[in-house]
Amino acid sequence: VTETVWVELPEQRRYPIHVGSGVRARLGAEIARLSDVSRVAVIADQHVAELHLDRLLAALPGQPTVLTFPPGEPSKSLATFERLLGELADARIERSDLVVTFGGGVAGDLGGFVAACWLRGVRFMQVPTTIEAAVDASVGGKTAVNHAAGKNLIGAFHQPSAVLIDTDFLGTLAARDYTAGLAESIKHAAIRDPDFLTWHEQHAAAIVARDPQVLTPLIARNCTIKADVVARDEREAHLRAILNYGHTLGHAFELLLDYELRHGECVALGMLAENALAQRCGRLDAAVAQRLHASIAQLGLPTRLPRALPPADVLAACRLDKKNKAGRITFVILDGLGVPVRFASAEDADIVAALASVQPA
């Protein structure tokens, strides 16, 4: 079974996300829908290319140019970006040609930004191969590379023409990468779809077992939730900010642990600590916080930091966050399931107390 989710955007930029086993076969038809594509350039994570490039190429028309980059966050750099632009130039990729990104969130963010900039923007399609990319990064058109001053500081909004999430590529994911991406799924359920949280509770064992029967509906529902938020607020003027639930403290943990944990693992811990904060501030019921804690634990995500972090360092890291206004640390907390609110009036003492709930026992 396959599913298709449409991202509804103005100015004829509406595009489909196809999810399921074998959907890579639709690449040819999606490319045929675009006018004038004469060449395709694939920008692929090297590791993913070693595992799956032959199956991707079999689904692409003609003889694409294949550009690769070393796996990992360090590739989201201006240096890699510049090298890839040079390779597009050598391959004579023109304004009407197409870029296809192949890999996890790094491939989509980096390859998407290359597509956004080459010749002032060429069209691109994404073929995400991680859970993180399938349920979150590939929806919404944010592309970026990192700067020494912080993550994702150099980027552009550039929407793809289509996204093909072929679950056949997910089987080779390392256990931690698989599990980490599920944190964003809990996030989407918590901020937008309480029934979907119940669904996670009911299907936890099958999700952990990577049952193909649950993977497609899980990914498609995440894409539906995020696509709806993005369609209402493409450039993050207001609503889209709710997607940052768990991310204020999550980013601080990511930074202070020096990327020892996966992004999703940090988001899980961030949601737990921000729930503790919301409880302390009288916003969230203990019962809802307990349910989210149980779901996170059930999926195999961490519920405590691997080592203690000094509270002063965490506060300092939060103060660097892009979302802050006028120096106040800004959170998205839950007032209840499905009711995220912007919250910028936490006292440092409350943040420190909330942090204790995720410090090692």
Ligand X SMILES: NC(=O)c1ccc[n+]([C@@H]2O[C@H](COP(=O)([O-])OP(=O)(O)OC[C@H]3O[C@@H](n4cnc5c(N)ncnc54)[C@H](O)[C@@H]3O)[C@@H](O)[C@H]2O)c1
**Annotated active-site positions, please?**
120, 142, 184, 226, 236, 240, 244, 247, 251, 263
Please identify which residue in 109, 166, 234, 274 interacts with ligand X, judged by CB under 6 A. 109
Q: Does 105 bind ligand X (CB under 6 A)?
A: yes
- Total residues binding ligand X (CB under 6 A): 30
Q: Which of 9, 25, 34, 51 binds ligand X (CB under 6 A)?
A: 51
Site for ligand X in 170-209 (CB under 6 A): 170, 172-173, 177
User: At closest approach, how far in Å is the CB of 275 from ligand X?
Assistant: 20
Q: What is the footprint of ligand X within residues 117-176 (CB under 6 A)? A: 129-130, 132-133, 136-137, 140, 142, 151-152, 169-170, 172-173
Q: Which residue is nearest to ligand X (CB)?
A: 105
Contacting range for ligand X; rule: CB under 6 A; set: 23-31, 80-88, 98-106, 186-194: 98-106
Structure-block tokens of residue 272:
């737990």
Stretch that binds ligand X, among 101-109, 199-207, 274-282, 350-358 (CB under 6 A): 101-109
Q: Does 338 bind ligand X (CB under 6 A)?
A: no
Q: Which is nearer to ligand X, 64 or 104 (CB)?
A: 104
Closest distance of CB 47 from ligand X, Å: 4
Find all residues with CB under 8 Å of 145, minimum gap 6, and list them. Answer: 76, 77, 78, 80, 81, 109, 110, 113, 152, 154, 155
- Determine if 39 is a binding residue for ligand X (CB under 6 A): no
Which residues, numbered 226-285, are part of the site for ligand X (CB under 6 A)?
A: 263
Enumerate binding residues for ligand X (CB under 6 A): 45, 47-48, 51, 71-73, 76, 103-107, 109, 129-130, 132-133, 136-137, 140, 142, 151-152, 169-170, 172-173, 177, 263
